[in-house]
Amino acid sequence: MPGILMRRLGSVALTLFIASLVVFATMDLLPGNAAAILLGTAARPDTIAALEQQLGLDQPAYIRYFTWILGAFTGDLGQSASYGVSVGGLIAERLVVTLPLAALALIIAVGIGVPMGVAAAARWRQTPDRVASGFAQVGIAIPDFWFGLLLILIFSTSLQWFSAGGFPGWATPLDAIKALLLPAFALALPQAAILTRVTRSAVLDVLGDDFIRTAQAKGLSETRILWRHAVRNALVPIVTIIGLQFSFLIAGAVLVENVFNLPGIGRLAYQALSQRDLVVIRSVAMFFAGLVILVNFLVDLSYLWLDPRLRARR
């Protein structure tokens, strides 16, 4: 077991190292630099050079790379060129919006998608299946940001139950959750649709297996067969998808964040990229890479828990 773990950690470190090189190089190759952007269209070359020096942009690439990596180990990711505050603080500020939003969206997606998929499989080619398949079709077809606009139109502009966007901060927790509710639903709809499909086909697969017939022959109740035997055995693909969805909800929510004007990490990444605030975008990109690796790792671990056969093999 320790051997496996060490190998595992080694490959994680290697992946992160390669990712850091790729991220640094691609960001450095982008045209444009933060100093010229900050000084605008009236500035003269000598002023831009002065700011480049101040921001450390005039140093050679390898020095900037190692400053960044060494800084990361000591917890200092540098200062944002445009905001003038520490990058770590900037990312943390955004995570208090993005993590709860992603978690809420995932809860909603799982809450809708899994029961619907199971119902569809249990009543294959009957009304629940048709309803679920219709929902999945529509849900996958509707882009999340467009659904968000629709929610704003109904619940904010017309009914005025919710504010149309923005985030009041966690000082007022109820308001904060209220502000995240509509965007969470908008994000959750397509994910719920995907989960419905995956759950349906995974459970259907298992329902066709021999041991289900054995269970039926044993006289077990239908509910028990469905939840204890079929769903339990269909969980591996479902959990895999949920893991992917969580990474997506954190890194890929930028359009929904824009529609609801939420200060999430997706918008930070977009803003930093357009301002060529490389110090920020590098660290955000590495955060995303680390997150995907971590979530994959957790999903792998969950397989061990879900499927005793895997445990026995180790």
Q: Is 38 in the site for other proteins (CB under 8 A)?
A: yes
Q: Is 140 in the site for other proteins (CB under 8 A)?
A: no
d(CA 241, CA 195): 7
Residue 165 or residue 290: which is nearer to other proteins going by CB?
A: 165
250 by Cβ neighbours in 10 Å (0-12 / 13-18 / 19+) ranks as buried
Among 120, 152, 186, 295, binds other proteins (CB under 8 A): 152
CB of 106 to other proteins, least distance (A): 22
Query: How many Cα neighbours within 13 Å face the side chain of 285?
Result: 22
42 by Cβ neighbours in 10 Å (0-12 / 13-18 / 19+) ranks as exposed
Among 157, 172, 214, 216, binds other proteins (CB under 8 A): 157
Q: Return the closest-CA partner of residue 61 out of 24, 36, 34.
A: 24
d(CA 120, CA 109): 16
Among the candidate windows 21-29, 228-236, 257-265, 292-300, which touches other proteins by CB under 8 A?
257-265
* Sequence-ordered alpha helix ranges (H) in 58-86: 61-73
CB of 82 to other proteins, least distance (A): 4
Q: Is 54 in the site for other proteins (CB under 8 A)?
A: yes
Among 57, 72, 87, 90, binds other proteins (CB under 8 A): 90
Q: Is 260 in the site for other proteins (CB under 8 A)?
A: yes
d(CA 43, CA 37): 10
Among the candidate windows 48-56, 129-137, 216-224, 281-289, which touches other proteins by CB under 8 A?
48-56
What are the structure tokens assigned to 107, written together?
Answer: 């809860």
Which residue is listed with tokens 């490389």? 278
CB of 265 to other proteins, least distance (A): 9
96: number of Cβ within 10 Å: 15
Which residue is listed with tokens 């969950």? 302
What are the structure tokens assigned to 254, written together?
Answer: 């930028």
Among 1, 2, 44, 208, binds other proteins (CB under 8 A): 44
Annotate 6-49 with DSSP letters as a single string: HHHHHHHHHHHHHHHHHHHHHHHHSS--HHHHHHGGG--HHHHH
d(CA 49, CA 99): 39
Q: Is 101 in the site for other proteins (CB under 8 A)?
A: no
Q: Is 174 in the site for other proteins (CB under 8 A)?
A: no
Among 12, 36, 69, 291, binds other proteins (CB under 8 A): 36
Among 240, 271, 296, 302, binds other proteins (CB under 8 A): 271
Among the candidate windows 65-73, 188-196, 219-227, 267-275, which touches other proteins by CB under 8 A?
267-275
Q: Is 96 in the site for other proteins (CB under 8 A)?
A: no
Site for other proteins in 68-87 (CB under 8 A): 82-85
Residues binding other proteins (CB under 8 A): 30-33, 36-44, 46-47, 50-51, 53-54, 82-85, 90, 93-94, 97, 149, 152-153, 156-157, 160, 162-167, 169, 258-264, 267-268, 271, 274-276
